[in-house]
Amino acid sequence: MLAYMTQWDGRYLVQTDSFYPSSNRCHACGYLSDTIPRSVRQWDCPDCDASHDRDVNAAKNILKAGKAVGTGADKLREHEKTTAGHVEG
């Protein structure tokens, strides 16, 4: 999986690759499970009992990682507004 978040002017770029344990880390409590086979779509965290959809959990972890390195969530929202304006225009 390759995912990135970028600001309009390109000053901020957050990139995670397949080595980032986004699928098998509980986004709720941070528990890191053993590698989960790709065939497993749903798993429960043994630590906090949260139930995870593999992809949703991974997406939340990547978002968290992006925020953690200081992308600035408010700036990303500005970027999204700008982009939406272009699409509508």
- Closest to 37 (Cα-Cα) out of 54, 18, 49: 54
Within 23-42, which residues bind Zn ion (CB under 5 A)? 26, 28-29, 31
Residue 21 CB, nearest approach to Zn ion (Å): 13
CA atoms within 13 A of residue 63's CA, in its CB half-sphere? 10
Quick check: 48 binds Zn ion (CB under 5 A)? yes
Quick check: 73 binds Zn ion (CB under 5 A)? no
Binding residues (CB under 5 A) for Zn ion: these are 26, 28-29, 31, 45, 47-48, 50
